[in-house]
Amino acid sequence: MEIRKSRRALAERSALLVVLSVSSAYAQTASPPLELAPVEVHAQRVDSDWLDAGTAITSVGAADLTADRALSLAESLQRVPGVFAQNQYNFSQGLRLSIRGFGARASFGVRGIRVLVDGVPLTLPDGQTELDGFDLSLVDRVEVIRGPASTLYGNAAGGVLALTTREPPPDFGASLDLSGGELGYRSQRASAGGTAGNWSGLGAYSRLRSDGPRAQGRGESDAFSGKLSYQGAAGSLRLNLNAIDNESLDPGGLNAGEVQADRSQAAPNNLLYDAGETIRQQRVSAAWDAPLSEQDSYRLWLYAGQREFANRLPFSSGGQSAFDRDFGGAGAQYMRRSQWFGLAQQWSVGLDLEAQRDDRHRYDNGEGGLRGAETLHQREKADGAGLFGEGEVELGGGFSVSAGVRYDRLKLAVDDRFESDGDDGGSRTLHEWSLAGGLEYAIASQHRLYLRLSDSFESPTINELANPDGGGFNRDLQAAHALNRELGFKGRGGAFRYELALYNIELDDELLSYEIEGQSGRTYYRNAGRSSRDGVEASLDWRLSSAWQLSLAYTWSRNRFDEYTLDGVDYAGNTVPGLPRHQGFAELAWAHGIWSARVNVVAYDHYEADDANTQRANGVALSNLRVAASLPLSDLRIEPYAGVDNLFDREYYDNLRINASFGRYYEPGPGRTVYAGIKLIY
């Protein structure tokens, strides 16, 4: 019955899209089509035009997200083929993001994907990333490299997410954004900045509150962000500062019977033990870019931060964790553009250094979240160093060739300070080489065909090395390795831009998450033997007229275990959980005069909840609407806006907990949800 409902919903959304497309085609007769603006991408470490980047890469700008709440990055990313984003509403778990399957194993935060903010790593040296550390309303552009990129960024670069924040205004300016809606959603954001001579600055404060769609789902976030920039003849300097104070509760996963009885309830033990977390973090970064000559330039960057974390899990023995983390890194890159035997070339070399120190404690958890006796104390560290080089040469006749190589040394170590149960410490040092090569052919001036071969490695994070048999270090857990083969075709033609990519990925020792009985909510990890991923990704952006624009994206993927035996059961041939086979996105945007509106449909197929493929989440198609206006008033601009998520009130899952114990896989999402706001800009 659920499958029939899902298919009927998908048919209804498709019919809606057809109607809207016909309307837009009619509008095209009234206005001549316009050219789409060129897109420059930066995530490959060397700036280039999107068309000339010989890999699958997508850029989404803030202008594409009119009237968005900036609740998470999901709305930016759901329009990118090959990307699957879950968990917008459980703030204690954070956005779960996967790119071509990398990251699907994450129980919270982002794994397997390298994340950058203004060119500086947000991902820690052991490969984990938390996206709770900045104000999403300041994000000006999101770039996604789809597929392994370890030659560029080392560990956990199965894909790359590069965020660029808004620059300070050329003159003094300020804004105030107030919004609210259902599910207890309330948001206040304020920013101010300006430019004086060679210096410019921007400061922003945001406050977000939400009760969530379920009991025990409240989340609170306060964030301050500052940006100071210098632009001079010698180069440019950018300083970023960010501080957050977050507190959130965790409603937990439900089993199928509990979902059927009441989708809005929390798991009983999550209520009993007051499951949730608190986070305080400060982070500062600096980047210097400068030319050496017309052909040569260099870049230096560094960052440092401190994070305090504590959580309460829904069980007693060792159910509370807390750590103090210090982290930082530095890097340098040299770039050159020149001629070689009459052939244009560009190449770069660089160095990355990173360090992380965690002082971790674990305690028993009492009813109501009362802290009990200490059960674990250990010092954890991760140190990474990487050397890389890459280059591209234009061969003539429309052909160009590229290559990259990187060496990484990563040391992960645990020093056991809880001596009453013996020494459970340990360490592991990884020495990894990553290679990439590509061939690109210009079919015409605005159309490209490319072939790419690349690999990546992904270490377990320090937290994922936790031993399921007790404290300390899981010596059986290995790093995962992936080999990516990709054929792509991209181009643009004035009013449209398109991309098509076909890929095959072979993985050894893929990292998989699971839970054990009695510790619901705490995730451990194991390796699968061999697995593979095949996929097709397609996207189209089409400026239908001066008022109308259509955006489409589609992904077909097959993710399966090739060699995987667990407890005597052979799972070869099973589908890797957490990844749908079909995904689609369609959006029609309209802007005329002071008004703008967007309507989109996000659809995906069913996907498995466990390695055995005995449980699944049904597919769904969700429709969303955004409406905004821009009203000039003297020196002010007033921008009221409103939105409706899940327009047709469909039942779906906001998140799926892979291999959860006691069948508690499901985190239901909300029904139709309305919000509205107003933004004042000076």
For residue range 13-27, what is the model confidence (pLDDT) as tens digits? Answer: 443 443 344 344 434
Model confidence over 173-187: pLDDT tens digits? Answer: 999 999 999 999 999
Model confidence over 112-169: pLDDT tens digits? Answer: 899 999 999 999 888 888 887 678 889 999 999 998 888 889 998 889 999 999 999 9
Residues whose CB falls within 8 Å of the CB of residue 566, separated by 6 or more in sequence, listed in order: 526, 611
For residue 475, is pLDDT > 90? no
3-state class (DSSP) for residue 106: coil
Radius of gyration of the chain (CA): 25
Model confidence over 609-622: pLDDT tens digits? Answer: 999 999 999 999 99
3-state class (DSSP) for residue 397: coil
Q: What angle do CA 292, 169, 231 make, to 5 degrees?
A: 15
| Bridge partner list, 121 | 116
List the one residue out of 78, 81, 73, 140 whose CA is nearest residue 110: 73
Reported as a pLDDT band with limits 50, 70 and 90, residue 472 is low
**What pLDDT is stored for residue 3 in this prediction?**
40
**What pLDDT is stored for residue 470 in this prediction?**
61
**What pLDDT is stored for residue 14 in this prediction?**
43
Give yes or no for a contact between 385 and 344, defined as CB atoms under 8 angstroms apart.
no
Model confidence over 568-610: pLDDT tens digits? Answer: 899 999 999 999 999 999 999 999 999 999 999 999 999 999 9
For residue 6, is pLDDT > 80? no
Residues whose CB falls within 8 Å of the CB of residue 423, separated by 6 or more in sequence, listed in order: 416, 472
In the block, which residue shows the tokens 């779906």? 652
pTM above 0.75, yes or no: yes
**What string of H, E and C letters represents the secondary structure of 231-242?**
EECCEEEEEEEE
Domain interval for residue 344? 2-681
Give yes or no for a contact between 500 and 538, defined as CB atoms under 8 angstroms apart.
yes
For residue 273, is pLDDT > 50? yes
Reported as a pLDDT band with limits 50, 70 and 90, residue 11 is very low
**What pLDDT is stored for residue 437 in this prediction?**
96
φ, ψ for residue 269 (rounded to 5)? -70, -25
What CA–CA distances, in Å, run from 89 to 216, 219, 309?
12, 9, 20
C-alpha to C-alpha distance for 71 and 75, rounded to whole angstroms: 9
DSSP tag of 484? E
> Which CATH number belongs to the domain containing residue 439 in this structure?
2.40.170.20
List the one residue out of 64, 91, 258 whose CA is nearest residue 654: 91
For residue 58, is pLDDT > 50? yes
For residue 372, is pLDDT > 50? yes
The secondary element (H helix, E strand) that includes residue 16 is helix 2-28
Highest average pLDDT, of 3-17, 48-62, 437-451, comes from 437-451
State the CB neighbour count (10 A cutoff) for residue 265: 18
C-alpha to C-alpha distance for 625 and 651, rounded to whole angstroms: 17
For residue 643, is pLDDT > 80? yes
**What pLDDT is stored for residue 468 in this prediction?**
74
- Stretch 501-515: mean pLDDT, rounded? 90
Q: What angle do CA 584, 513, 432 make, to 5 degrees?
A: 90
**Sign (positive or negative) of CA dihedral 550, 4, 575, 468:** positive
Q: What angle do CA 369, 515, 575 make, to 5 degrees?
A: 140
Look up residue 378 and give its two tokens: 């250990």
Measured distance between the N- and C-terminal CA atoms of the chain, rounded to whole angstroms: 53
Higher-pLDDT residue of 399 and 528 is 399
Higher-pLDDT residue of 51 and 46 is 51
Reported as a pLDDT band with limits 50, 70 and 90, residue 342 is confident
The chain-wide mean pLDDT, for the chain, equals 90
For residue 519, is pLDDT > 50? yes
| Bridge partner list, 298 | 290, 334
3-state class (DSSP) for residue 23: helix
Reported as a pLDDT band with limits 50, 70 and 90, residue 476 is confident
Give yes or no for a contact between 361 and 372, defined as CB atoms under 8 angstroms apart.
no
Reported as a pLDDT band with limits 50, 70 and 90, residue 523 is confident
The CA dihedral of 653, 553, 154, 430, to the nearest 10 degrees, is 50
Residue type, 485: R
Lowest mean pLDDT among 79-93, 212-226, 298-312, 468-482: 468-482
- Stretch 323-335: mean pLDDT, rounded? 97
Residues whose CB falls within 8 Å of the CB of residue 102, separated by 6 or more in sequence, listed in order: 112, 113, 148, 158, 159, 456, 458, 482
State the CB neighbour count (10 A cutoff) for residue 294: 8
**What pLDDT is stored for residue 471 in this prediction?**
58
**What pLDDT is stored for residue 242 in this prediction?**
95
**Sign (positive or negative) of CA dihedral 415, 417, 420, 421:** negative
C-alpha to C-alpha distance for 186 and 620, rounded to whole angstroms: 28
Higher-pLDDT residue of 287 and 469 is 287
Counting residues of the chain whose pLDDT is more than 90, the rounded percentage is 72
Higher-pLDDT residue of 13 and 550 is 550
Beta strands 48-49; 40-41: pairing state: antiparallel
Burial string for 222-235 (b: 16+ CB within 10 Å, else e) reads bbbbbbbbbeeeeb
Specify burial of residue 415 (Cβ count, 10 A radius: 0-12, 13-18, 19+). middle
Domain count for the chain: 1
Specify burial of residue 197 (Cβ count, 10 A radius: 0-12, 13-18, 19+). exposed
C-alpha to C-alpha distance for 665 and 249, rounded to whole angstroms: 18
